[in-house]
């Protein structure tokens, strides 16, 4: 059985794919409509997994399953995007394939978008999950509050537009999925 890619490797691979998608779009290369939504959802799951990196272990297979699912999603996105790059030029595709392979295997480091910030007021008890995400400008806080009540999680605004979500791990996963759908459209992770 193959060992899973690290969260850092997945983050680096995501960054390579995101850069390639932007370049292909600027050059007018056709990409399926769902690629951007799949990239956004993958990014959110990678950030979620990173926030639980210290807690994920053999005892909780649901996080390991989620890790495996996001690996498959990143690999699937790469096949689609790299096949479109091949239509442009085979050397071009080979360069991007090498960058992707280096990234996902951990040989290419990618800078994090922002430094980790202390997450305040989040319980650190066993069985309690949390994540922090930047709230898009076009999503009213009231909508998120209603969603939090429906998911039975605590959501607080930290700073200008950062949401902190906490609660039972099952409820946090549900909230993460609903927030992803609210922010980015239907999730394709199932």
Per-residue model confidence as pLDDT tens digits over 41-100: 888 888 888 876 655 554 456 667 888 888 999 999 999 999 998 888 889 999 999 999
User: pTM of this prediction?
Assistant: 0.59
| pLDDT for position 60 | 56
- Residue 119 located in a structural domain: no
The confidence band for 132, taking pLDDT boundaries of 50, 70 and 90, is confident
Is there a single domain that holds both residue 19 and residue 97? Answer: yes
Is there a single domain that holds both residue 22 and residue 100? Answer: yes
Cross-strand pairs, 131 = 165
Name the percent of the chain lying above pLDDT 90: 24
Quick check: 135 pLDDT over 50?
yes
> Which residues touch 20 (CB under 8 Å, ≥6 apart)?
81, 82, 85, 96, 100
Top mean pLDDT of 24-38, 108-122, 166-180 is at 24-38
Count of domains observed in the chain: 2
CA 122 vs CA 36, 104, 128, 183: distances in Å: 31, 31, 9, 23
Let me know: does 168 contact 129? Beta carbons within 8 Å: yes
- Residue 42 located in a structural domain: yes
Residue whose structure tokens are 């993460």: 176
Let me know: does 105 contact 129? Beta carbons within 8 Å: no
Task: List own/partner pairs for 59-68 with CB under 8 A and 24 or more apart.
Answer: 60/169, 62/169, 62/173, 64/4, 66/173, 67/4, 67/7, 68/4
H or E element, residue 51: helix 34-51
Let me know: does 184 contact 44? Beta carbons within 8 Å: yes
- Residue 25 located in a structural domain: yes
For the CA atoms of 53, 168, 161, 64, what is the dihedral angle to 10 degrees? 30
- Residue 120 located in a structural domain: no
Is there a single domain that holds both residue 99 and residue 134? Answer: no
When pLDDT is averaged across residues 160-164 and rounded to a whole number, the result is: 71
Residue 74: count of CB within 10 angstroms of its CB: 26
- Residue 169 located in a structural domain: yes
Top mean pLDDT of 20-24, 67-71, 185-189 is at 20-24
- Domain carrying residue 49: 7-104
- Residue 111 located in a structural domain: no
When pLDDT is averaged across residues 95-116 and rounded to a whole number, the result is: 79
Is there a single domain that holds both residue 85 and residue 134? Answer: no
- Residue 26 located in a structural domain: yes
The confidence band for 118, taking pLDDT boundaries of 50, 70 and 90, is very low
Q: Dump the DSSP string for 72-98.
A: HHHHHHHHHHHHHHHHH-HHHHHHHHH
> Of the candidates 104, 137, 158, which is a domain's last residue?
104
Cross-strand pairs, 157 = 163
CA distance 41 to 63: 16
In 29-171, beta strands by DSSP E: 128-134, 154-158, 162-168
Is there a single domain that holds both residue 20 and residue 96? Answer: yes
Quick check: 143 pLDDT over 90?
no
> Of the candidates 104, 120, 153, which is a domain's last residue?
104
């Amino acid at each position: 059985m193959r060992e899973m890619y690290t969260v850092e490797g997945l983050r680096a691979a995501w960054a390579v794919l995101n850069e390639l998608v932007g370049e292909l779009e600027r050059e007018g290369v056709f990409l399926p409509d769902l690629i951007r939504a799949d990239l956004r959802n993958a990014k959110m799951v990678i950030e979620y997994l990173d926030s639980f990196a210290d807690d994920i272990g053999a005892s909780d297979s649901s996080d390991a399953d989620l890790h495996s699912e996001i690996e498959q999603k990143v690999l699937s996105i790469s096949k689609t995007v790299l096949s479109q790059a091949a239509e442009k030029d085979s050397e071009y595709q080979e360069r991007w394939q090498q960058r992707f392979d280096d990234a996902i295997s951990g040989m290419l480091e990618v800078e994090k978008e922002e430094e980790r910030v202390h997450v305040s007021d989040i319980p650190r008890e066993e069985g309690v999950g949390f994540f922090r995400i930047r709230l898009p400008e076009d999503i009213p806080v009231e909508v998120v509050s209603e969603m939090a009540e429906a998911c039975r999680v605590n959501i607080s605004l930290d700073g200008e537009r950062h949401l902190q979500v906490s609660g039972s791990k099952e409820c946090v996963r549900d909230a993460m999925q609903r927030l992803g759908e609210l922010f980015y459209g239907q999730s394709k992770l199932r």
